[in-house]
Structure 1
Amino acid sequence: MRMEMTFQLFMLAIALVLILEGVGPLLFPNKWRRYLSELSNQNQQVLRRMGGALVTAGVVILIIFS
């Protein structure tokens, strides 16, 4: 039962990520394209900092709600 609950929770988390990632291109395709273009022009250090901030925020949220 524990394994099923964990897998179900994992799949729900994946579904939520997919929904949230899809909202931007679905509702604002032109703005989304410009955003990705600007993002691709950033230097590597800026992208690493952004990625690190997102991972840190995710870990903090997991710790708080676990």
Structure 2
Amino acid sequence: MIGHAAMAVGLVLIVEGLAYALAPSLVERLLEAMRAMAEDQRRVLGLGALAAGVLLVWVAKMLGA
């Protein structure tokens, strides 16, 4: 269980690091766009990302990961 959690956190850090390393200006524009959004819109976006993540984990588990 702890190994799976460490793997998940490591993968998130890899993706985050790649985004900042390969396209820092794009990240800045994304953050500016998010600041311009209403709090409710950001909450819905976060919930959508959460649901997509849960779905991806479920699919990965079904495929034997």
Provide TM-score, normalisation by structure 2: 0.80
* d(CA) in 1 for partners of 2:6, 2:17: 16
Instruction: Give 2:49's aligned residue.
Output: 54
How far off its partner does 1:43 sit? 0.5
**4+ residue segments displaced more than 6 Å:** none
Which of residues 12, 28, 33 is equivalent to 1:17? 12
Which of residues 26, 31, 47 is equivalent to 2:26? 31
* d(CA) in 1 for partners of 2:26, 2:53: 25
Larger Rg: 1
Amino acid at match of 2:18: V
* d(CA) in 1 for partners of 2:43, 2:31: 15
RMSD: 1.3
Q: Which runs of 5+ in 1 are unaligned?
A: 1-5
**What is the number of residues matched between the two proteins?**
61
Provide TM-score, normalisation by structure 1: 0.79
